[in-house]
Amino acid sequence: MDPTFDYIVIGAGSAGSVVASRLSEDPGSRILVLEAGPDERVIHSRAPGAFVGLFGTERVWPYASEPEPAAAGRRIHVPQGRMPGGSSSINGMIYIRGDAKDYDDWVAAGCAGWSYAEVLPYFRKAECNERLADRYHGTDGPLSVVDVPYRHPLNAAFVLAAQQCGYAFNHDFNGASQLGVGYFQVTQKNGERASTAAAYLRPALARGNILLEIEAEVARIVFEGRRAAGVTWRRHGQVRSARAARAVLLCAGTLGSPKILMQSGVGPAAHLRESGVEVVLDLPGVGRNYQDHLQVLNYYRTRRPISLTGQDKGLTALRNGLEWMLFRRGLLTSNVAEACLFADSDGDGRADLQIHSFPVFVPDHERAPPEGHGFTIGACDVRPRSRGEIRLAGPDPSTPARLFSNALSDDRDVARADSTYSGSYPAASK
């Protein structure tokens, strides 16, 4: 007979780690957490500046879109974390909430309960901010938020140059306004990445009522009628299953969650039937409305050899590695994207461009970076209009889903990307 838990959490990523931790506060609850990837406690995830070493490994899902018609047929790579902590174990650690009005727009679109005023108490509850304590910031939560501990001279030059161009310095991108230039705060603790696994899940495991199964790839949610009664997964070639007495919580990320739902028979009925999946519930919205922020990378050469080029090689790499291992200090505490300019390109008072400064030529997934020293200005459109969708490729759960991101299919996204490419940035907000 299958084991029974009160709750089964699918995916131990950003959401899953927090949800499992919160549920485990009730000592009477038994929680099973299923995570497809391996243990996250490896140096490339723990040392903030080393995360690039995770790409191309088993700890990152190699998701990619179908060839995109509006992006010259390119396949857009969408890496996602595949280990406890999920994408918070590979991400840039930037602590950023978005614009307050983004949340109010969700309410206007029908998502009751998600206005900025309603979510702000939860941000404050989550946060342990080392510098800020005010109506926007908390200091008692499990998630450590610190000023970026390392500042590269090229990022400092970017912050200064933007101010010389008239952009205001912003000391808190999560405060009254996002607009302006400054340094990020990052989710780190004592020089290490503070993923949700480190901040929530690992401490919660000590309570003894969570069973974390890693390398367990969920195939389906098992329905009894309309009720999610259990889950089946595959671990080291074996199919296993468990029952949930109270709830199944699906936290497998933007691509993983709709895939699992559709594999389980919940989604657009016609698509499920053509994919060979029996329909449990016809929900046309599943897998739709995909959106992502593309980044336009502009490269600039430096006259002097001061960029990060070569820092990952030879004696320099050894020195950086030792400094981090012995003192949790130095270059390896950098999240590389230390500084940023939030700009308003359409004049509505909200930032729509997140312009990163990187003190190195950042590799693009389809082209090698230039040789030598230089820096990258990367502009993200934070409110893209293009919408994509996720579709099953067949009934077998081990077959990757198909992503049609439709990147740049809306002309307004092309215009915004183009404006940053040509370097004609929006007027400064003084």
Ligand X SMILES: Cc1cc2nc3c(=O)[nH]c(=O)nc-3n(C[C@H](O)[C@H](O)[C@H](O)COP(=O)(O)OP(=O)(O)OC[C@H]3O[C@@H](n4cnc5c(N)ncnc54)[C@H](O)[C@@H]3O)c2cc1C
Smallest gap from residue 254 Cβ to ligand X (A): 6
Q: Which stretch binds ligand X (CB under 6 A): 29-37, 113-121, 283-291, 378-386?
A: 29-37
The answer to whether the CB of 290 falls within 8 A of the CB of 254 is yes
CB-wise, 111 or 318, nearer to ligand X? Answer: 111
CB-wise, 45 or 87, nearer to ligand X? Answer: 87
11 lies in the site for ligand X, by CB under 6 A: yes
Torsion region of 166: left, alpha or beta (phi above 0 gives left; psi -120 to 50 gives alpha): left
CB-wise, 83 or 428, nearer to ligand X? Answer: 83
Distance CA 43, CA 40 (A): 9
CB-wise, 93 or 143, nearer to ligand X? Answer: 93
What is the CA 135 to chain-centroid distance, rounded?
25
| x/- map, 196-235, ligand X, by CB under 6 A | ---------------------xx-----------------
Smallest gap from residue 8 Cβ to ligand X (A): 11
Phi first, then psi: give them for residue 227, nearest 5 degrees: -95, 130
Three-state SS at 374: strand
180-183 contacts at long range (C-beta below 8 A, 24 or more positions apart): 180/341, 180/342, 180/429, 181/339, 181/340, 181/341, 181/342, 182/339, 182/340, 183/147, 183/148, 183/151, 183/155, 183/159, 183/338, 183/339, 183/340
Question: Among 93, 154, 221, 341, which residue interacts with ligand X (rule: CB under 6 A)?
Answer: 93
| x/- map, 260-289, ligand X, by CB under 6 A | x-----------------------------
> Of the candidates 86, 94, 85, which has an alpha carbon nearest to the alpha carbon of residue 382?
94
CB-wise, 96 or 294, nearer to ligand X? Answer: 96
15 lies in the site for ligand X, by CB under 6 A: yes
Q: How many CA atoms lie within 13 A of 226 on its CB side?
A: 3
Question: Among 96, 229, 247, 414, which residue interacts with ligand X (rule: CB under 6 A)?
Answer: 96
Question: Among 21, 45, 65, 91, which residue interacts with ligand X (rule: CB under 6 A)?
Answer: 91
Where on the chain is the footprint of ligand X (CB under 6 A)? Answer: 10-16, 34-37, 79-82, 86-88, 90-94, 96, 217-218, 251-254, 256, 260
